[in-house]
Structure formats: structure tokens, C-alpha cells
Amino acid sequence: MSKSKLPNGPQTHPWLQTFNWISNPLEYLENCAKNYGDIFTLRLAPASIPQVFISNPQAIQQIFTTDPKQLDSGAPAGIKAPLLGEQSLLALEGKPHQRQRKLLTPPFHGERMLAYGELIRNITKEVISNWQIGENFSVLSAMQGISFRVILKAVFGLEDGSRYDELEKLLIAILNPKKPALRATILLFPILQKDLGALSPWGSFLRLRQQIDQLIYAEIEDRRKNQNSSRTDILSLMMATRDEAGEPMTNVELRDELITLLVAGHETTASSLAWAFYWIHNLPDVRKKLLDELDSLGENPDPNTIFRLPYLNAVCSETLRLYPVAPLGLNRLVKTPLEITGYQFEPGTLLIPCIYLTHHREDLYPNSKQFQPERFLERQFTPFEYLPFGGGNRRCIGMAFALFEMKLVLATVLSKCQMERADNKQVLPVRKGLIFGLSDGVQMKVTRKR
């Protein structure tokens, strides 16, 4: 193998590669893996710089453990997020990224998560109290409602009232655009980001963002004026943290991290929950095992006990394996010449851990297209074989929170309602902007309330 040569990949024009990647991404990734192996190169327009997609666990391990001075993510690696802002953890690199990550870690510590258990359960009960027996409803919409309220109350710490209602309305408008494919295209091609007035796609986005910012900054200012040390929401905890120089986070940093947590935690958790309900109600054996495990806990079990249930954990893990909401880990930019599994990568190359292809390696996950929670009871996978939340210095900071919420919502709904699918539609993963969701809202109905 020639050391300076990039891994093989399609030789078609970059615009054709880009069209395939946007229109039929998962099939395109699978075809590339079939033709070129578990490390291949794509050149995606408009930049056409080499992007190396990697689903080899040894190579992923090297990527996750390489010093960020040699290989790092952030804005220079193409992580451009107009909604998140320049101070978002995703956009930062080097020392600023390290500082911000250190400041954000305490509020997301595993032990802290348990404090939100009752809040998550109460919000879930509130939503399911509106479900009528025999009436069809969309599981995805219901899960979006739950995850949204959890974020506004647990992360933003907002109480019910006009600011809560206004922020909810604006955030739903910006996060669930009427034409997601158009939004995705505009985000992928900065040349299309032109403000042609309030009715133009980009102009509408910018005005929504401005209104959201006004509300968030007003909330931050109110908190600064009326400090309350007994508050446990994540915004309050973020405002209380200090870096090594004793400095707090600025208003802009707080705003960017709040929006990042919202975007990273809303649609992702809702889609994962909708997938879980889809599989649980498609596979009677899985449903029975899960209900038996939940029933063994008796009335009103402790959230911590629910979090540790082995079969519930296996169901959640398999849901996140089969169709991960983020099929790719964050781009890493090579900064100094770097050798990985025999390939010599030059500065300027992008390395991309491919979560979806790694999760579908037949040597790790036999019959990978089938939903089999037992895989996670039978063996332990390394963080380079199973990586739904990414890894290394870029692993999702809200991982513990997302898993805790997912398990508690599933346990609460299944303990309170007996449900069934309202149709036999096959649901498939589809691109929803920069993440992946479901081709259908998963129609279900309640047959009995417990």
C-alpha cells in the first residue's frame, strides 16, 4: 500500500458524489463500503477536499486517542452551525474547546442527572394523560413534545409563562422547518445563505434566530439580577461554574451552549424514542421481555433502578445502534502528517468516523439489519465498535442525560399504557437536515390504560 495515496473511493465527479450523499446517504455509504472497504475517500462539493470515511474500529480508536494538536474538530474542520454560534462546544477547537468542555462537564455529571428523574416522569405522564383509548396518534410528535418540555424545564429552567410559550413557538418553527430538505441544502452550501428578505428561506431563518436570541438573553439577564443558589436547572449550574482563572461563562457562551444542547438533545432523543416504540411494538418477544422486567419493579420505582435495568438498557442500545440519529461522528481535520492503519494523511484531509457503517459491520453485529437487543446482553462492545454519541474529546456531553431520559420515558409510557401499532407501515430512516429521522411519525393507539 502506497503511504501517500489516499484510500480508494468513487471516481465520479464531486457534484455527483454530493448528490448521492444528500439524496440517498445510507445506501450510498453501504455501496462505498462494499466496493472500497471500511476506509474510503469521498470528495464532496463545493470544497471537494478529500473526506475519508472510516468504519474500522482500530482506525477509529486512533482517531479518538490522537492528540487534538494533530487532529481536531470544530469550525476549521467544517463544523459550521449558523444556529449554534461560534462559541458552541461543537465549533470550538484547541484550548477554548478544552475550557468550555471542562465548564460544561459538572452540570452533566451522571449523579446530577438523577435529580431530573421526577421532572421527566411528570412531563411524560402529562403528555400521555391526553391520549384517548382507541384514538390514533403519532408517537414521534408525542416524543417531540416530551423531549422539548424536558429541555425547556431541565436545561433552560423555564417556568410556565409567556417567555416559555414564546420560546417554545419560535424554537419549534426553527427546528422543524416546513421544507427540511431545502434547509439542509442551504446549511450544506454557504453560498445559498443570502438574506433576501423575511420571506426568503435564509432571511426567515435569521429573523427567527434573532427573536430566539432576544428571549434567551433576557432570561440570562434576569438570572444574573435575581441569583438563586437553590436552582438545579442546567443553565443555573452553567452560570455558577468558573474556569481556572475564576472567570464565569459570558452571555454569548451561555446562549451558544444552550442552543447547542437544545439542537443536540431535542430531535435526536425524540427520534430515538419513536424508533424504540416502533421496534418494541413490531416484535412481540421484545415487548414481552421488556414489560416483564418493568413489571418486576412494582409501583413507582426509583428512577435510578430503572436506569440500571439490563434489558431496558439493551433495547435502548440496540435502538441507537440500528439507525443512529447521527450516522457520522464529527469531522476531524488533520493538522500535521498522520499515519493511521498504514495510510499517511496529509494536513487538510478530513477524517470522519462513520457510526452507521461501524454499527452494521457483520463481524461485530451479525444480521445487523435485525433488531436484536440480546447482542448487548451477550457481549460488551468497545467505544470504537459502538459509538452512537461519537467519541474521544468530541463525545456528546449530554450522553448520560439522553440515555436517562430515554429509559425513563419508555418505562413510564409502557407501565401506564398498553398500545399497538395503528397501521403496518414500514418505517425507514430518512435525512432530516443534518441528522436522520423516521420516514413516518409511527401511528399508534392506546388499547388500555394501566
Domain boundaries, the chain: 14-449
3-state secondary structure of 395: coil
Let me know: does 239 contact 249? Beta carbons within 8 Å: yes
Kindly report the pTM of this predicted structure: 0.93
Phi, psi of 418 (to 5 degrees): -100, 125
Q: How many residues does the chain have?
A: 450
> 133 - beta bridge partners?
446
Closest CA to 300 of 450, 150, 111: 450
Closest CA to 329 of 34, 72, 86: 72
Per-residue pLDDT tens, the chain, 450 aa: give them.
Answer: 444 579 999 999 999 999 999 889 999 999 999 999 999 999 988 777 899 999 999 999 999 999 999 999 988 888 777 888 888 898 899 999 999 999 888 888 767 777 899 999 999 999 999 999 999 999 999 999 999 999 989 988 888 888 888 988 888 888 777 776 677 777 777 777 887 888 888 888 889 999 999 999 999 999 999 888 888 899 998 999 998 999 999 999 999 999 998 888 888 999 999 999 999 999 999 999 999 999 999 888 999 999 999 999 999 999 999 999 999 999 999 999 999 999 999 999 999 999 999 999 999 999 999 999 999 999 999 999 999 999 999 999 999 999 999 999 999 999 999 999 999 999 999 988 778 999 999 999 999 998
Q: What is the DSSP string of 401-449?
A: HHHHHHHHHHHHHHHHEEEEESS-----EEEETTEEEESS--EEEEEEE
CATH dotted code for 14-449:
1.10.630.10
Structure letter (DSSP) for residue 354: B
